[in-house]
Structure 1
Amino acid sequence: MGAHLPGSNSSGNLTPAVSEAETALPGYLVVILSVLMVTLVVVVVAGNALVILAFIVDKTLRNQSNYFFLNLAIADFLVGAFCIPVYIPYNLTGRWMLGKGLCKVWLVMDYLVCTASVFNIVLISYDRFLSVTRAVKYRAQRNLTRQAVLKMLAVWVLAFLLYGPAIILWETVVGRSIVPSHECYAEFYFTWYFLLSASTFEFFTPFVSVTFFNISIYLNIYCRNKKLSASIEDSDKPQNTIKHTDGGMWSVLFVKTRKVSSEAAAISAVIEDDMQYPSSCGEHNASQIFMQQQRFSPDRKNLRLFQHTASGVRPGRRTQGTRLSRDKKIAKSLAIIVCIFGICWAPYTLLMIIRAACSGKCVSKYWYEVTFWLLWLNSAINPFLYPLCHSSFRRAFSKILCPKRQSVQPQIEAQSC
């Protein structure tokens, strides 16, 4: 979301400059800035194009969670393919020379893709939150492509509604334009109350939401980790009895088996899948597990076998420990999301509101320039920050970049971080 500051040679979200004499830069500085801008364009376009291409060549990536990464990559790709290239000449010369119509198009696209990028980050964070705290329900719905596509479309619709109508209709509603013909920025550029309201939905609410998801995941993992440690301590004690209910009273039966039938093992696997990934600590107690076993058991005579299988916590503990380790990696990557998102968006959002409140007189153009480019820098970081922490994406990238090497190496099961 950019613009050049009126009356300066700095770039910023939605604003421009004044006379050519004032905006003229030394030749060496123009070269340096041009190289840096072109480099940013290449990184943004190449990084996000690689993510999009990965979806085309690797069908195993096409699940709900990864579709949200695709949506983010599309938004960030448009930043590098359209928004930055159109802005570079304007930034270097201080004059908009493409006409008012294209100015409107550029502003709508700039605000749209940057806002969509933010909303996609929230969607990805929410998806990871569900995968950790509502694991059983999440796994049952993760392959619902139609639901994922609807969420992706909702991101773009909401992103457009936040700024698009204001950019297009503000001049008509007010009855006049405050933007000079040689500049390009939104008509609401100095309307602080509109910017404050929009920023609430564009930055503050998403930032609080992502932070909440992150904290919730950490609390869930802490609780499960504590429960797993207690389970390990209990399993180390000698256990030669199991419990069985009869008429509502608990009795103790001694069970001595060396093998479990394949039927019992299959039913136990169904039960274990429901038990190993509770959404919160202490979700399943002994009676709930027993009722599940009774419900799935086709033969009451084999009830003790089912109980014995379900109570064998060692294999289940390994599975639970593996998932706990995976969820810890999700929590770490989500913490990085919060930090990077805050670093890239908070400075610009705050300065934008302050600048509008004081009509641009209390914010240095150089500080505004830095905070503005941080927004687009986020689009360059995203393809590395999100997909590259998944082994499934790394394997897909390897197929694209090193096809010969990939054909020799054995396939490794995808495991998200």
Structure 2
Amino acid sequence: MIASWNKSPRHQLGCFLRLDMENTSDTLPNYGDSLQNTSFVVSWVQTIPLVLVTCVTLVANGAILVMFVTTKSFRRCRNIYIASLAMADFLIGCTMPLSIMESVYYPWSPIGVACHIYLIARHSLLYVSLLSILLISIDRWWSINYPFSYRVRQSRRLAISAVTFSWFLSFVLNIPPIVIMTDFQQHNSSKVYNKRCNSPHETHFVYLLVTSVVEYLCPLVALWILNCSIYFRIRNQFHNVRKQISRKNSMSNITGVSGTRKQSDDLVREMMVKQDKKAACSLGMMVIVFTVCWTPHMVVQVINSKCGQCLPEIITNVTFWILVINSAINPFLYGLLNKEYRKVLGRWMHCYSRRRTFRIKEAVMYWNIMPMNGADKMRDNGITYMNAVKEWSS
């Protein structure tokens, strides 16, 4: 032991340093564990809002679809386009869990055929959502600008054909580029878990620019033109109706003759114009939200394809989720702002209490109409029925 110290001072200094590191290694904090805990917390902070968006998308659009299926009065031509939009948004919500896994847990990604199916479903359903909003705008524009032609020519068959064609067109436009072009973009490794399920055309600037103009910019311009036309048309109709009503009121005051029927007709026209105005406002809000949600993602895609993915990954993820949030907002725009949908939703929410109240009132009526001098058997049946209702309602 003593002989081991009869060496060079450098060796002795090394021994002291090694002993000191061995003694202090247990007292130093474990930075690896703290980093793992921090990344775990960050992952959950990112995951919880995305899961909430997914749940809202599925529940809200699912409720719209159930209303359309169960309520017979909803199966009109106009609501067929809304049902198509709700179906597309609902299926987009079904793809959101995979998007969450890909955004939060970066090394994970679907591969092979699963990647193809995921990309085809995501891109096609997003385009169906866009075309459904366009069909709703065209239907509203047609009904306001040409009401007589709309009533004569519009039919369920025409609406179903338009919806079917929009779904077919969306899948036809998105399947060939994804299947034929390059499948994956690798990130500095040949291992399977480092492969990313990205769109194969995201690095082709010319192709992406052309498709963005054709599939996004042209429909967006058409949406704004249609909705501006609807807005100005309704505003002119509203002003004309108000002028006619004020003119007729002034004439009736001068002549002393009251045209009750004409006034009622004018009031009906004013009410119809107000209904069209409310529907146009909800549609306009839908178009504004669509523009705000879609434009950042399309711009980021074009910039990344030009500069070779120069933007940070977080910007791409944020703009993508802003795009997807549009599917969660749509049912609230045409649901909460529509009186018919609010009525059905309120009926669902108060179904249990209304049913219980109806049963109790029925029992009370049955008890009151029983003859006082009748048979004891009817009175016993009434008491039994009242007890059953009390047990059921408690």
| TM-score, normalising length: structure 2 | 0.73
CA deviation map 1:2-32 (0-9, x unaligned): xxxxxxxxxxxxxxxxxxxxx9971101111
Aligned partner letter, 2:43: V
- Asked whether the equivalents of residues 185 and 198 of structure 2 are also in contact (C-alpha less than 8 Å), the reply is no
Task: Select the structure with the greater relative contact order (CA < 8 A; seq sep ≥ 6).
Answer: 1
Rounded to whole Å, the distance in 2 between the matches of 1:24 and 1:369 is: 23
Match of 1:102 in 2: 114
Match of 2:207 in 1: 194
CA deviation map 1:105-157 (0-9, x unaligned): 00000101111111111111111112222222223345x22111111111111
Match of 2:345 in 1: 397
Query: Following TM superposition, by how much is the alpha carbon of 1:324 offset from its aligned partner in structure 2, in angstroms?
Result: 1.1
2:172 to 158, 161, 170: 161
Query: Following TM superposition, by how much is the alpha carbon of 1:237 offset from its aligned partner in structure 2, in angstroms?
Result: 4.2
Aligned partner letter, 1:44: T
CA deviation map 1:65-96 (0-9, x unaligned): 11111111110111111x11122222222124
1:359 to 291, 308, 326: 308
SS of 1:113's equivalent in the other structure is: helix
Query: Following TM superposition, by how much is the alpha carbon of 1:178 offset from its aligned partner in structure 2, in angstroms?
Result: 5.0
Structure 1: gaps spanning 5 or more residues: 1-22, 241-255, 259-307, 410-417
Match of 1:114 in 2: 126
Match of 2:267 in 1: 318
Query: Following TM superposition, by how much is the alpha carbon of 1:404 offset from its aligned partner in structure 2, in angstroms?
Result: 3.2
- Asked whether the equivalents of residues 110 and 197 of structure 2 are also in contact (C-alpha less than 8 Å), the reply is no
Matches within 5 A, 1:207-246: 207-238=220-251
> Which structure carries more helix by proportion?
2
Match of 2:11 in 1: none
Match of 2:140 in 1: 128
SS of 1:66's equivalent in the other structure is: helix
Rounded to whole Å, the distance in 1 between the matches of 2:109 and 2:236 is: 59
Match of 2:388 in 1: none
Rounded to whole Å, the distance in 1 between the matches of 2:207 and 2:152 is: 42
Match of 1:90 in 2: 102
Rounded to whole Å, the distance in 1 between the matches of 2:250 and 2:104 is: 73
CA deviation map 1:360-398 (0-9, x unaligned): 11x232222211101110111011111222121122223
Rounded to whole Å, the distance in 1 between the matches of 2:65 and 2:218 is: 28
- Asked whether the equivalents of residues 283 and 334 of structure 2 are also in contact (C-alpha less than 8 Å), the reply is no
Alpha-carbon distance change, 338 to 24 in structure 1, aligned in 2, over 3 angstroms:
farther
Match of 1:298 in 2: none
CA deviation map 1:295-354 (0-9, x unaligned): xxxxxxxxxxxxx99xx5312211110011112112211221221011100111111111
1:138 to 140, 150, 153: 150
Aligned partner letter, 1:183: R
CA deviation map 1:28-72 (0-9, x unaligned): 011111212211111111111101111122111000111111111
- Asked whether the equivalents of residues 398 and 406 of structure 1 are also in contact (C-alpha less than 8 Å), the reply is no
SS of 2:181's equivalent in the other structure is: helix
Match of 2:385 in 1: none
Match of 1:368 in 2: 316
Matches within 5 A, 1:228-267: 228-238=241-251
Match of 1:328 in 2: 277
Query: Following TM superposition, by how much is the alpha carbon of 1:202 offset from its aligned partner in structure 2, in angstroms?
Result: 2.6
CA deviation map 1:272-291 (0-9, x unaligned): xxxxxxxxxxxxxxxxxxxx
- Asked whether the equivalents of residues 56 and 328 of structure 2 are also in contact (C-alpha less than 8 Å), the reply is yes
2:46 to 20, 33, 43: 33
1:184 to 177, 181, 197: 197
Alpha-carbon distance change, 25 to 148 in structure 1, aligned in 2, over 3 angstroms:
farther
Rounded to whole Å, the distance in 2 between the matches of 1:92 and 1:150 is: 40
Alpha-carbon distance change, 91 to 220 in structure 1, aligned in 2, over 3 angstroms:
same
Which stretch shifts more, 386-395 or 317-326?
A: 386-395
Alpha-carbon distance change, 406 to 377 in structure 1, aligned in 2, over 3 angstroms:
farther
Total equivalences in the alignment: 314
Alpha-carbon distance change, 335 to 191 in structure 1, aligned in 2, over 3 angstroms:
same
RMSD, matched Cα: 2.7
Alpha-carbon distance change, 387 to 137 in structure 1, aligned in 2, over 3 angstroms:
farther
Matches within 5 A, 1:282-361: 313-361=262-310
Structure 2: gaps spanning 5 or more residues: 1-35, 359-394
Rounded to whole Å, the distance in 2 between the matches of 1:337 and 1:88 is: 25
- Asked whether the equivalents of residues 294 and 323 of structure 2 are also in contact (C-alpha less than 8 Å), the reply is yes
1:72 to 85, 102, 111: 85
SS of 2:112's equivalent in the other structure is: helix
Rounded to whole Å, the distance in 2 between the matches of 1:141 and 1:209 is: 22
Tell me the percent identity. Answer: 26
Aligned partner letter, 1:212: I
- Asked whether the equivalents of residues 344 and 377 of structure 1 are also in contact (C-alpha less than 8 Å), the reply is yes
Match of 1:206 in 2: 219
CA deviation map 1:197-237 (0-9, x unaligned): 11123321121111111111121122212322331233134
SS of 1:386's equivalent in the other structure is: helix
Aligned partner letter, 2:351: P
